[in-house]
Structures are given as C-alpha cells and as structure tokens.
Amino acid sequence: MTDLALASSPLISATAHGEIRAAFETLEHTSLAARLAALAGTPLEALRNALPTFVQSRLDGAVRAALERAMTTALGSRPEASPFAMGQTWFHRGLAAASGIAGGAFGLPGTLVELPISTTLLLRQIAAEAAAQGEDLAHPATAPECLKVFALGGRGTEDDATESGYFAVRVALAETLKGAVGVNLLPSFIGAIAARFGGPIALKLGAQAAPILGAAAGAAVNLAFLQHFKSIAHAHFTLRRLERNHGEAAIRAAYDAIAAERDARFAG
C-alpha cells in the first residue's frame, strides 16, 4: 500500500486498506464482456449482432421481468428456509450449468425461458455474499443492495470512468430508489438495473444463439456469470461492511486515493 492511500485515511487499519484495494480492483477492472468474448472466441460486436432485431427490441422487457421474478423468488421469503440454500456454492454452480445447458439447447427461445431461472440463481449467490459480510437479509434495504450488484457488474468496456465508477453508480441508483420500500421497488430503480444488466444478457443470448453450440456455451456462460457477479457482490458488500465499521466518508476517501494512484500511474 502506498503512502498516498494510507495517508488519506490514517485511522483505517492496513488490513482494511488491503480489502478496499482488492474491492477496487474487482469493481473497476473486472469486465464480464471481455470474459464472455474470450469464452466464445468471438468479438463483442459479433456476439451482439448474433441477436435478431425482434429479440434486441424485447430484451429490456425480458431483463426487467427476469429481475422482478428473481427478486420475488430469491428474496421474497426467508432465504434459510429455501430449498436453494444460499451457502451451497457447488449447488448453485451445478444448477447454473444445468439451466444453461437446458436453455442453450433450444437456442434463443430456450435461453429466454431460462433467463429468470439463471437470474434467480445469481441473486441467491449475491445474497449469500451479503449475508457473509454481515448484511441482515430480512431488512427491507438489503434486497435493493443485492439487486444493485447486477448494475455494478454490468458495466461495459466502453463506459466512461467518470460516469460509471463504483461510487458514481451507487449514487445514481440511490437517487432512483428514494421512496421505495421492500420488494415494492420503484420501476425507475428496476429500469436502471436492467439498463446495465441488459448488456451482459445480450452477450449471453448471442453466445447461446446457435442451438447445438448453445448447449455447451450455455453452461459455460452461466458459470462465468455466477463467478463474475459473486466477485462483484463480495467486493460491494465488503465495502459496505467497512463503511459500517469505519464510516462512509473514510472508506470513500481511501477508495478515491487508490483511484488517484491509478490515474497518476497512467498519466505518468
């Protein structure tokens, strides 16, 4: 850890600084889009263009519906009472692979049917990360925080850093969330999540567009999604835990100092 980052928040331990830096690397540098392109062996533009026009026009509605259904299924009841026990990472991986195979085997129609299932599995894993970092899953504010992970992890490589950095996205989502309670979230909040989550979903659909190739691609893509959003959730809820322990301002200052180091390094 450099002197600049440590000096920005001297009351935070070196261990906490290390956690902030690890979260920064995950939240600002991890690209699911690039991972999917490498997985499919196809450029991003080709994956997007694989979708028929009618699918592209209906994608936003499909993503919104998947998010709403996932929220109701994954977070609408006591998670510990669910048959999809959140702590079973291996179980989630198996279900994600199976749903991807089933969806991909039938091309785009199958993938669209499978989308709410895979999204629910993702949200379960996100909630497991939240619980591991001390979040109260019964609290009304936890469901929105879990959904935010889809937006935080859905950034594209073309996003401008000043508009899509972690804290910028958090602030923007908080504005859309004002006045919402529990699972009755404002449509504008769901829409903001869907707008960012829709990019990765479009790439997923493109990778699974071919019925025969899609079955194999579906499993691999779903596992890539699971690992990606699990890591984003871990980083997000780690920062929230540190904010509860040290105060939001101190954690933000340390995070910004790391960002300043990066900018100085690139400028130099």
One DSSP character per residue, 180-207 reads: -BTTB--HHHHHHHHHHHHHHHHHHHHH
Confidence at 71, pLDDT banded by 50, 70, 90: confident
What does the block give as tokens for 185? 């979230």
Task: Using the Cα atoms of residue 67, residue 73, residue 77 and residue 83 in order, give the sign of their dihedral.
Answer: negative
Task: Using the Cα atoms of residue 161, residue 167, residue 173 and residue 175 in order, give the sign of their dihedral.
Answer: negative
What does the block give as tokens for 145? 């925080």
Nearest 5°: phi and psi at 23? Answer: -65, -40
Nearest 5°: phi and psi at 184? Answer: -85, 65
- What pTM does this model have? 0.81
pLDDT of 239 > 90? The answer is yes
Residue type at 174? A
pLDDT at 210: 55
- Chain-wide mean pLDDT for the chain? 76
pLDDT at 234: 96
pLDDT of 189 > 80? The answer is yes
Average pLDDT of the segment spanning 53-65: 83
pLDDT at 85: 42
pLDDT of 100 > 50? The answer is no
Q: Which has more pLDDT, 218 or 117?
A: 117
pLDDT at 41: 67
Average pLDDT of the segment spanning 81-110: 48
Highest mean pLDDT among 56-65, 151-160, 240-249: 240-249
Q: Tens digit of pLDDT for each residue in 16-33? A: 999 999 999 999 987 777
Confidence at 81, pLDDT banded by 50, 70, 90: very low
With contact defined as beta carbons under 8 Å apart, do 210 and 102 qualify? no
DSSP 80: G
| Closest by Cα among 236, 210, 235, 207 to 222 | 207
- Interatomic CA distance for residues 203 and 152, integer angstroms: 17
Nearest 5°: phi and psi at 57? Answer: -70, -25
Burial category of 236 from C-beta neighbours within 10 Å (exposed 0-12, middle 13-18, buried 19 and up): buried
- Interatomic CA distance for residues 3 and 162, integer angstroms: 24
Q: Tens digit of pLDDT for each residue in 105-132? A: 445 666 677 788 888 888 888 998 999 9
Alpha helices (H) along 76-180: 89-105, 107-132, 142-152, 161-164, 166-177
